[in-house]
């Protein structure tokens, strides 16, 4: 019973399927015979089918009768389609002996004809083991919560069934990622679909079989390093690398890419782009090199990715003139609606929709009538008689002590950004400060507490 795999074969218009235990030596011809006998058994009333009347379609290709299972990139619980042949098309056999994955192992974003001579292993697919062949695509699977190898599949853009055969193989990533680039013929009953829709599946061994049809995000910048390019950061040659979308296609190994992302995230140095979102560019600093598929940042791990999402939401909110509730442990994002009829004195009054804290939009302190107290945010007058009389003195003292201490600490260790007044702590380095708050980015001098100038650099850059 070695090398037996279970294959699900869909054959009916209503999604009827049968599961076959097949040896890896089994040919497509034999599958056809077993499918036909099964169909004939079930549909006693209909005219019986012959193996020649059906075609086996997998991953956008009609599979040749002589092909063996082990050469088809089929895994346990893979789904293939058996369809009645509508008409013999002349082009369908063009590449039927190669599977889609084999045909596109060397996908790149632009045609790299000039570079093909560098390709070492990929010129000869037979040198690759099936495990290697699988690892040409990397995907993020929301089910496994992991980055793993993926499988390229194709379906009909109209009926969404995998019963489509492609007219030609995709030759670059654009063919795969942009809808409508590759045409095909759908063999699903009366569906007249003619456009191929590519998608990816998780190929992880740990992927739950029941979820096998969930499509996953392809991380097309992550590649198997078959050209043995050295990493731009650590200068080692590693198996899995990220190729930046810059014109030079700079290569960084997957580990350094992760550290690069984490260090940029912790410095809050991701770039916000109105089309892409919160992203990074090539680590060398090339122009026009923003990473468009932000799922690549999944590499940072679950916890850091959550932080990334929070930062991204905050940046987006602040850039759209929203505010973030200043209450500790809240931080909810609020869009303030402007109402012309409202009393101008009240237009800075914001009520947090999450914690109901009422604060002033200008100074981000508790709401007050009249002008904001300039930089005296810390002199809370909690000793005033009217305040302490109304509450239990012990708890009043506790909260007073807590409040004063943390406020004193903040006051003692920070200086406000001269532009947006965000308290800033200086943790070593020179006197040149750059505000990391979204939409501010002010360059200022820690000593002068004003804009950073040449004189600052000359006179007291370091003290």
Partner 1 sequence: MAEPVPGISAIPDESNARYFHVVVAGPEGSPFEGGVFKLELFLPEEYPMSAPKVRFMTKIYHPNIDKLGRICLDILKDKWSPALQIRTVLLSIQALLSAPNPDDPLANDVAEQWKINEGEAIKTAREWTRLYAMSG
Q: Using DSSP, state whether 177 is helix, strand or coil.
A: helix
**Shortest distance (Å) from residue 447 CB to partner 1:** 15
Site stretch for partner 1 (CB under 8 A), options 35-43, 76-84, 248-256, 402-410? 248-256
Q: How far apart are CA 247 and CA 110, in angstroms?
A: 10
**Shortest distance (Å) from residue 235 CB to partner 1:** 8
Given the residues 191, 286, 430, 440, the one annotated as active site: 430
256 scored as a contact of partner 1 (CB under 8 A): yes
Q: Out of 49, 72, 141, 252, name the contact with partner 1 by CB under 8 A.
A: 252
300 scored as a contact of partner 1 (CB under 8 A): no
Q: How far apart are CA 74 and CA 95, in angstroms?
A: 17
131 scored as a contact of partner 1 (CB under 8 A): no
User: Do the beta carbons of residue 280 and residue 308 sit within 8 Å?
Assistant: no
Report the candidate in 130, 126, 137, 213 with the shortest Cα–Cα distance to residue 170.
137
**Shortest distance (Å) from residue 260 CB to partner 1:** 6
Distances (CA, A) of 216 to 98, 102, 108, 422: 24, 20, 19, 40
Q: Out of 89, 263, 375, 398, name the contact with partner 1 by CB under 8 A.
A: 263
Q: Out of 42, 284, 346, 355, name the contact with partner 1 by CB under 8 A.
A: 284
Q: How far apart are CA 255 and CA 333, in angstroms?
A: 34
Alpha helices, H only, 142-253: 173-177
Nearer to partner 1, 198 or 257 (CB): 257
Backbone angles phi and psi of 180, in degrees to 5 = 80, 10
**Shortest distance (Å) from residue 280 CB to partner 1:** 12
Q: Out of 55, 196, 283, 352, name the contact with partner 1 by CB under 8 A.
A: 283
Record the tokens describing residue 303, joined without a space.
């916890």
Tell me which residue has tokens 């201490």.
405
Active site annotation includes 430 = yes
285 scored as a contact of partner 1 (CB under 8 A): yes
332 scored as a contact of partner 1 (CB under 8 A): no
Q: Out of 47, 131, 235, 369, name the contact with partner 1 by CB under 8 A.
A: 235
428 scored as a contact of partner 1 (CB under 8 A): no
Nearer to partner 1, 263 or 403 (CB): 263
233 scored as a contact of partner 1 (CB under 8 A): yes
Site stretch for partner 1 (CB under 8 A), options 26-34, 106-114, 196-204, 252-260? 252-260
Query: What is the sign, positive or negative, of the torsion defined by CA atoms of 427, 431, 435, 436?
Result: negative
Nearer to partner 1, 284 or 405 (CB): 284
Q: Out of 232, 253, 254, 377, name the contact with partner 1 by CB under 8 A.
A: 232
DSSP calls for 121-163 = STT-GGGS-HHHHHTT-EEEETTTTEEEEEEEEEEETTT--S-
Beta strand pairing status for 432-434 and 443-445?
antiparallel
Backbone angles phi and psi of 403, in degrees to 5 = -60, -50
**Shortest distance (Å) from residue 264 CB to partner 1:** 8
Q: How far apart are CA 239 and CA 420, in angstroms?
A: 46
Instruction: Report the interface residues with partner 1, using CB under 8 A.
Output: 232-235, 250, 252, 256, 259-260, 263-264, 283-285, 432, 454-455, 457-459, 461-462
The residues assigned a catalytic role are 430
């Amino acid at each position: 019973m070695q090398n037996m795999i279970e294959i699900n074969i869909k054959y009916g218009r209503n999604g009827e399927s049968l599961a076959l235990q097949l040896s890896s030596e089994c040919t497509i011809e034999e599958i056809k015979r077993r499918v036909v006998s099964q169909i004939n058994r079930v549909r006693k009333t209909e005219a019986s089918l012959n193996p020649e009347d059906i075609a086996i379609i997998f991953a956008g290709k009609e599979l040749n009768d002589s092909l063996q299972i082990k050469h088809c990139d089929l895994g346990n619980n893979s789904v293939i389609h058996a369809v009645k042949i509508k008409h013999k098309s002349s082009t369908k056999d063009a590449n039927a002996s190669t599977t889609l994955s084999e045909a596109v192992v060397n996908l790149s974003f632009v045609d790299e004809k000039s570079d093909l001579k560098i390709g070492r292993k990929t010129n000869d697919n037979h040198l690759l083991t099936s495990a290697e062949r699988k690892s040409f695509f990397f995907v993020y699977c929301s089910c496994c919560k992991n980055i793993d190898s993926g499988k390229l599949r194709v379906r009909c853009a109209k009926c969404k069934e995998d019963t489509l055969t492609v007219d030609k193989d995709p030759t670059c990533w654009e063919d795969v990622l942009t809808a409508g680039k590759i045409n095909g013929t759908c063999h699903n009953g009366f569906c007249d679909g003619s456009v191929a829709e590519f998608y990816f599946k998780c190929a992880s061994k740990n992927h739950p079989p029941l979820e096998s049809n969930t499509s996953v995000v392809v991380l097309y910048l992550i590649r198997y390093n078959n050209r043995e390019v050295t990493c731009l950061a650590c200068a080692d040659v590693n198996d899995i690398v990220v190729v930046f979308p810059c014109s030079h296609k700079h290569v960084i190994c997957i580990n350094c890419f992760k550290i690069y992302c984490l260090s940029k995230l912790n410095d809050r140095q991701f770039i916000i782009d109105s089309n892409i979102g919160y992203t990074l560019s090539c680590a060398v600093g090339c122009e026009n090199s923003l990473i468009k598929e932000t799922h690549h940042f999944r590499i940072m791990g679950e916890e850091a990715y959550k932080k990334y999402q929070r930062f991204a939401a905050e940046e987006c909110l602040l850039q759209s003139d929203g505010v973030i509730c200043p209450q500790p442990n809240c931080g909810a994002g609020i869009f303030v609606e402007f109402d012309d009829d409202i009393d101008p004195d009240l237009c800075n009054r914001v009520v947090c929709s999450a914690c109901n804290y009422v604060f002033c939009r200008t100074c981000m302190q508790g709401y007050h009538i009249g002008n904001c107290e300039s930089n005296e945010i810390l002199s809370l007058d909690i000793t005033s008689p009217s305040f302490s009389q109304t509450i239990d003195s012990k708890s009043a003292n506790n909260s007073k002590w807590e409040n004063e201490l943390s406020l004193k600490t903040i006051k003692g260790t920070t200086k406000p950004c001269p532009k947006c007044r965000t308290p800033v702590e200086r943790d070593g380095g020179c006197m040149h400060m750059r505000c990391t708050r979204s939409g501010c980015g002010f360059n200022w001098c820690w000593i002068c507490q004003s804009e950073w100038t040449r004189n600052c650099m000359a006179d007291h850059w370091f003290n």
